[in-house]
Structure 1
Amino acid sequence: MINVLPGNLANLIAAGEVVGRPASVLKELMENSIDAGADNISVYVEDAGRTVIKVIDNGSGMDTEDAKICFERHATSKISSPEDLEKIMSYGFRGEALASIAAVSRVVLKTRREQDEVGVEVHCTQSQIQLCQQVSTPKGCIIEVRDLFYNTPARRKFLKTEAAELRHIVQEFGRVALTRPQIAFSLTHNNKQLYNLRPVQMFVQRIADFCGISLVKELAAVSTDTSLVNVSGFVGNPTDARKTLGNQYLFVNGRYFRSPYIHKAICRPYEDLLKEGQTPSYFLFLDADPSRIDVNIHPAKTEVKFEDEQMIFEIVTAAVRQTLARNAFTPSIDFETAPTIDFPAISKEAPHFVVPPKIDFDPLFNPFDFDGPHAQVQQQPLPSSNSMDLFVQGKYIIAQSDHGLMIVSVQKARERVFYDSFFPNLAEKEPVVEQTLYPMTISLSPENHFLAIENIDVFGRFGFDLRDLGQNDVVLYGLPSGMSCERKGVEDTLIELLSALRRGLIGETIAQDTATLAHSAAMSMQNMPTKAEAQLLVKELMDCRQCAEAPTGGKTFTIITNEEIDKLI
């Protein structure tokens, strides 16, 4: 038998799509405040939204009838006919958010219009109005969501840690606040104010206030107007690109949205400017005729369909490419690098190319060791690592000897050298911290800032003397013994470690943590070595105990004998 579900059960099911976590609630409430014409929005959160999410605004407010009906499913003031769907400019229009939130929490709403002497207070629990009474309250709305998912224990159990949920809250807060620089926003968590964004006239000022002034210094303006879409905003300098996502923001008609397709359009002009896996920062606004886009794809309203998607792709790509060219973000020529040599591609399916070695491979073999046991079996001495003939080819160092070619992975070699340098220090209960000559202030993304502060003790175990400065900044007074003090390298190492923290790669064993630190430090060194630096790297690698193996796995080098080369050609 088919039954029509009761309203409260239908709302509970719908809440599964609209209310995924505390950050989802915050997003809907902040967007409602903007639609109400507020120019001052304050957010208060406790326990990363599990206990309390409160939003106070000075918008238009509601009368008693609207305050009661707003918790009904599909109750909205934004649209009234099918034609309205083709010209949506407001954030909300589906009329599902408050009904879904009230289905999985206890909600208290206080609101008053400017023309009313008194306001109204409404209590709603499990989609049912429990109380409605007159109350003295300021113009606008105060909406408080308590005990999120109290009646759905399974949903509550699957929430992440407080730090993780707070990062999501900050992320959603930023996505909304960035779109409206003329509105004042504040965010307070557990009675500690995290953000106080003043109203500003220029979008770039809001980026500076939310993401940090250091990021703004690396941005270039984008501005292209066409009959189909206007593209404006900022893209990052290729040298500031990261291997972790964090500062990628797309907006259409003032609404944040996600689009792998448009993301690809933005990244395409960077193809020859970035190393593999890097992603540039960008803050791009697309302004288009609302009748040519569809925002009614998903209840969360973070997906958008464009009528002329391919054309918009090309326009965005051209706009970004023009900006990169105008700001001279072009590849530089490294005259230290040896000429490119094209090695023939060897098919994996060609069995005649696979030649088993005539002798067993010894991972402890050091071709530059003249005093060890291996030196006695060599018929001809190999050249010293200080004078050997080598050159840098892409990601590899190719060293030539009388017996063949030694191919060294720059990344893996650096990992091994860093590992052997860091391990003795990290194995101590209190690692040695080398004090920096001057305190080093580093600006992080909001998400990375919170993650860093939550894990100050972890960074201490690595040898970082790191402290919070607030407003997305941290200051370093000391570094792990043996680490370079070069600012860009330190900043990139911190970001790589934060990425490892997110993936749960820290905290297992001292060896694993040392390998993670070594990998992060190696990844932060984006430059390829000069010939002299390559000479030194090979020498340091050969001094390591397990020089043939990288701490995170894989070989640091391989040797192709002259006999093997003869069989390949």
Structure 2
Amino acid sequence: MPKINVLDKHVAELIAAGEVVERPASVIKELTENTIDAGATAVTVEIKHGGITFMRVTDNGCGIAREDVPLAFLRHATSKVRSQADLAHIGTLGFRGEALASIAAVSHIELLTRTEKELAGTRYLISGGEEETCEDAGCAQGTTLVMRDLFYNTPARMKFLKKDVTEGNAIAAVVDHAALSHPEVSFRFLRDGKEVLHTPGDGKLKNAVFAVFGREFTQGLIPVSYELNGVKVWGFISKPVASRPNRSMQNFFLNGRYVKSKTAMVSMEQAFKGSLMVGRFPACVLHLQVDFSAVDVNVHPSKMEIRFMNEKPVFEAVYHGVKTALQQEDAPSALHLAAPAAKPAVLRTPAAAVEQLPLRTAPCVHDSAAFSHASSVQQAMPDVRDIPLHAKDAEENAPPNFAKNGLGKENSFTGKTTGKTEEIVPPAIPDTPLPVASDVSAPPEPYVQQNAEDVPVKLVGEAFHTYIFVQQGQDELRIIDKHAAHERMLYEKLKAQAGEPEQQMLLAPVTVTLSKEEYTAVLQNLELLAKAGFAMEDFGAGTVLVRSVPVMLQEDLSSAVAEIAGHLAENRTDVGTEKLDWLYHNIACRAAVKAGDESSPQELIHLVECLEREDVRYCPHGRPVSIVLKRKDLEHQFGRL
């Protein structure tokens, strides 16, 4: 039987540190929570190389007293919990007393701190859990923590870290959540010497949302403010038209803490039911305030998982709050029809003269030459109100092409040479009739051809704007799903282009705001996206810039990019060929004609011809493109057999 050993302090601390410090983002999360608990109004987070080599968190909070500095780095040492009773109503973000000890066990730490009552600050150095220096130092009130070389003494854990960009984006997500959870605190985030976030800290949540997610996301929000059964819900939800293809932009905060709550998520989506299409999800920045004793946050060291004592009040408060906001703020705008303005009095053609004008039928002009001629004539004719009422003035001021009509000096509009005021008679409409366009809506000739097996194929028609009916010979009726067929053909076309699809450069690049996880996934797959026809680049702060897209993609580009980013973030372990194949599926599905779309007979004929040539059987998702009904089966149904 193996002998039981008591681990020494250093090994035990390394094991315990793994529960709290998984990556650099874990360090920033713990430290930003400490700054908020310390009453800071301004927090600066600075990192280099994804936080692996350097992290610094500075705040203007209350600071740490000199005699308490060494104690702060001991495990289970905290100023926020004193007895078992305190665990029943935790009101602070941190309370476990493990963060500083865990961070110090796997990095080099330098601490600078000063309280309001102290004249001199304290500089404290600790590495690998071992104290090195504690001395006087000059510093402002508050606390500054500098972490260097994370996991320097645990190389096994170091090799599991991601690239600097990935780790840096994870830290950026933590800072975003901190800024949204406490809009009264000004957060500043510096990444490799560049400022990427700076919130105003004015207590207005919308300003914090604007700083974190940008203008486009903020413009599509609806305010929420509701209270029911002791649960208060406030913040913002997205308008139905600004919905997302996934849940990555749903942010919930409970008593100022960023959490993942299935109860809040389900209740919000239930409130949106009937306002969103299937497969679309609302975005939100929602704060929930409940009694501290009604929730348990001591479920996991990350403190992101929570348990409600009673979920029903929370569900109802979120549901009714979101539903009320949708009914009040997302109502259709009223349509106001202005009364027609009174027309100015002008001289008109006598009724008798109108009756003598040749009557012409003027259908919609499709001929471009005729349309241009009609437009030029209309532009050449002066406004009746601008024509002088006296013959002399008319002769002097009339346009050259209307000054004379070959009848001496008579004016073509008055027909008189005297100075008397006469009624204006417009020029006669020419007798040459305008060309009439051919009837483009006339049905085409019946489509009949021979397929590869010399069987006559005849287009019968279309049902529900979705299914095409084609008669094959005398014994078969083929029913084709036009979306599935078109999708498969586009998919095969993309695959045949061998990673060099046809692209179209956008006249104005499109910016797309993503969650930090999606943002990271896109930046890691830029080359893969280029093979699918997307030219994207980093625009900073969780935003990508789209410069070109596949030529066949004509839908809402922002929605397409967001859906692709969400898939890449959720399927990080897929190999490149699987990701590229999914991109082809997605592009083909979006570009294909949709079920329910009206198609002309010519389009249906073209689709049937392509199917006959390419022998398409299944769509990229595995659904059948067509089914065949035998004549004898139909006759059996109708009792003919």
Q: What TM-score do the two structures reach when normalised by structure 1?
A: 0.81
Q: Distance in 1 between matches of 2:136 and 2:582?
A: 63
Aligned to 1:13: 15
Q: Distance in 1 between matches of 2:582 and 2:602?
A: 23
Q: Distance in 2 between matches of 1:319 and 1:111?
A: 43
Judged with a 3 Å threshold, the aligned counterparts in structure 2 of structure 1 residues 445 and 303 are, in CA distance, closer, same or farther, namely closer
1:424 is displaced (CA, Å) by 5.5
Aligned to 1:478: 548
Judged with a 3 Å threshold, the aligned counterparts in structure 2 of structure 1 residues 470 and 171 are, in CA distance, closer, same or farther, namely closer
2:594 aligned with 1:522:
no
2:268, 2:318 within 8 Å by CA — same for their partners in 1? Answer: yes
Aligned to 1:383: 459
1:249 is displaced (CA, Å) by 0.9
Judged with a 3 Å threshold, the aligned counterparts in structure 2 of structure 1 residues 472 and 540 are, in CA distance, closer, same or farther, namely farther
Judged with a 3 Å threshold, the aligned counterparts in structure 2 of structure 1 residues 268 and 138 are, in CA distance, closer, same or farther, namely same
From 191, 197, 201, the counterpart of 1:195: 197
1:278 is displaced (CA, Å) by 3.2
1:69 is displaced (CA, Å) by 0.8
1:206 is displaced (CA, Å) by 1.0
Judged with a 3 Å threshold, the aligned counterparts in structure 2 of structure 1 residues 302 and 512 are, in CA distance, closer, same or farther, namely closer
Aligned to 1:162: 164
The one-character-per-residue Cα deviations of 1:1-39 (angstroms, maximum 9, x if unpaired) are: 766544433332222221122111110011111111111
1:506, 1:516 within 8 Å by CA — same for their partners in 2? Answer: no
Aligned to 1:345: none
Matches for 1:287-298 after TM superposition, within 5 Å: 287-298=289-300
2:474 aligned with 1:399:
no
Matches for 1:62-211 after TM superposition, within 5 Å: 62-211=64-213
Identity of aligned residues (%): 31
1:90 is displaced (CA, Å) by 1.2
Q: Secondary structure at the match of 1:531?
A: coil
Aligned to 1:359: none
2:419 aligned with 1:419:
no
1:398, 1:405 within 8 Å by CA — same for their partners in 2? Answer: no
Q: Distance in 1 between matches of 2:550 and 2:491?
A: 12
Q: Distance in 1 between matches of 2:28 and 2:196?
A: 15
Per chain length, whose mean CA-contact separation is higher, i.e. which structure has more relative contact order (CA < 8 Å, sep 6+)?
A: 1
1:143 is displaced (CA, Å) by 0.7
Judged with a 3 Å threshold, the aligned counterparts in structure 2 of structure 1 residues 537 and 103 are, in CA distance, closer, same or farther, namely farther
Matches for 1:522-541 after TM superposition, within 5 Å: 522-523=589-590, 529-532=596-599, 536=603, 539-540=606-607
1:89 is displaced (CA, Å) by 1.6
Aligned to 1:262: 264
Letter in 2 for 1:377: V
Judged with a 3 Å threshold, the aligned counterparts in structure 2 of structure 1 residues 264 and 17 are, in CA distance, closer, same or farther, namely same
Q: Distance in 1 between matches of 2:66 and 2:448?
A: 87
Q: Distance in 1 between matches of 2:151 and 2:302?
A: 18
Choose 255-264 or 524-533, whichever is displaced more.
524-533
Letter in 2 for 1:466: M
Aligned to 2:562: 495
1:12, 1:103 within 8 Å by CA — same for their partners in 2? Answer: yes
1:493, 1:521 within 8 Å by CA — same for their partners in 2? Answer: no
Q: Secondary structure at the match of 2:553?
A: coil
Letter in 2 for 1:494: V
1:52 is displaced (CA, Å) by 1.8
Gaps of 5+ in 1: 331-367
Judged with a 3 Å threshold, the aligned counterparts in structure 2 of structure 1 residues 373 and 445 are, in CA distance, closer, same or farther, namely same
Q: Distance in 1 between matches of 2:220 and 2:463?
A: 36
Aligned to 1:343: none
Judged with a 3 Å threshold, the aligned counterparts in structure 2 of structure 1 residues 370 and 215 are, in CA distance, closer, same or farther, namely same
The one-character-per-residue Cα deviations of 1:148-180 (angstroms, maximum 9, x if unpaired) are: 222223322222333332232222111111011
1:419, 1:514 within 8 Å by CA — same for their partners in 2? Answer: no
Q: Secondary structure at the match of 1:115?
A: coil
1:416, 1:549 within 8 Å by CA — same for their partners in 2? Answer: yes
1:286 is displaced (CA, Å) by 1.0
Q: Secondary structure at the match of 1:516?
A: helix
Gaps of 5+ in 2: 333-446
Q: Distance in 2 between matches of 1:116 and 1:414?
A: 75
Letter in 2 for 1:555: P
The one-character-per-residue Cα deviations of 1:44-89 (angstroms, maximum 9, x if unpaired) are: 1122122222111111111222111100011111121222223322
The one-character-per-residue Cα deviations of 1:486-519 (angstroms, maximum 9, x if unpaired) are: 5x2x11222233234332588745x973652441
* Structure of larger gyration radius: 2
2:63, 2:143 within 8 Å by CA — same for their partners in 1? Answer: yes
1:427 is displaced (CA, Å) by 4.3
Q: Secondary structure at the match of 1:370?
A: strand
1:477 is displaced (CA, Å) by 3.6
Q: Distance in 2 between matches of 1:293 and 1:558?
A: 56
Q: Distance in 1 between matches of 2:53 and 2:247?
A: 29
Aligned to 1:34: 36
1:529 is displaced (CA, Å) by 4.1
Judged with a 3 Å threshold, the aligned counterparts in structure 2 of structure 1 residues 83 and 507 are, in CA distance, closer, same or farther, namely closer
Aligned to 2:402: none
1:500, 1:516 within 8 Å by CA — same for their partners in 2? Answer: no
1:471 is displaced (CA, Å) by 4.1
Choose 57-66 or 193-202, whichever is displaced more.
193-202
1:290 is displaced (CA, Å) by 0.8
Letter in 1 for 2:16: A
Aligned to 1:555: 624
2:539 aligned with 1:466:
no
Aligned to 2:451: 372
Q: Distance in 2 between matches of 1:137 and 1:39?
A: 17
1:184 is displaced (CA, Å) by 1.4
Judged with a 3 Å threshold, the aligned counterparts in structure 2 of structure 1 residues 191 and 517 are, in CA distance, closer, same or farther, namely farther
Judged with a 3 Å threshold, the aligned counterparts in structure 2 of structure 1 residues 135 and 217 are, in CA distance, closer, same or farther, namely same
Judged with a 3 Å threshold, the aligned counterparts in structure 2 of structure 1 residues 512 and 209 are, in CA distance, closer, same or farther, namely closer
2:253, 2:287 within 8 Å by CA — same for their partners in 1? Answer: yes
The one-character-per-residue Cα deviations of 1:334-374 (angstroms, maximum 9, x if unpaired) are: xxxxxxxxxxxxxxxxxxxxxxxxxxxxxxxxxx8823224
Q: Distance in 1 between matches of 2:251 and 2:70?
A: 36
Q: How many residue pairs end up in the alignment?
A: 516
Choose 463-472 or 310-319, whichever is displaced more.
463-472
Letter in 1 for 2:624: K
1:182 is displaced (CA, Å) by 1.9
Aligned to 1:348: none
The one-character-per-residue Cα deviations of 1:266-286 (angstroms, maximum 9, x if unpaired) are: 222334444444332122111
Matches for 1:504-523 after TM superposition, within 5 Å: 504=572, 508=576, 513=580, 516-520=583-587, 522-523=589-590
2:527 aligned with 1:448:
no
1:451 is displaced (CA, Å) by 4.1
